[in-house]
Amino acid sequence: MKKNILVVHTGGTISMFEDSETGAVKPGNENPLSTQTKGLNNLANLIIKEPFNLPSPHITMQEMIQLKKIIEDEVNQNKIEGVVITHGTDTLEETAYFLDLTIDLKIPIVVTGAMRSSNEIGSDGLYNLITSIRVAACDDAKGKGVLVVLNDEIHTAENVTKTHASNVSTFQSPQYGPIGIITKQGVFFHNTPTHKEKYDIDQISKRVALLKAHAGMDSLLFHSILDLQYDGIVIEALGQGNMPPDTVEGIKSLIEANIPTIIVSRCFNGIAQDIYGYNGGGKQLKELGAIFSNGLNGQKARIKLLIALSQTNDMKVIEEMFH
Residues marked as catalytic: 13
Distance between CA atoms of residues 233 and 220, nearest Å: 14
| Cα-based angle 89, 261, 322 (whole degrees, multiple of 5) | 65
| Cα-based angle 62, 68, 71 (whole degrees, multiple of 5) | 140
Total residues found in the chain within this entry: 323
The DSSP annotation for 86-128 comes to E--SSSHHHHHHHHHHH----S-EEEE--SS-TTSTT--HHHH
Distance between CA atoms of residues 271 and 240, nearest Å: 6
The pair phi, psi for residue 285, each rounded to 5°, is -65, -40
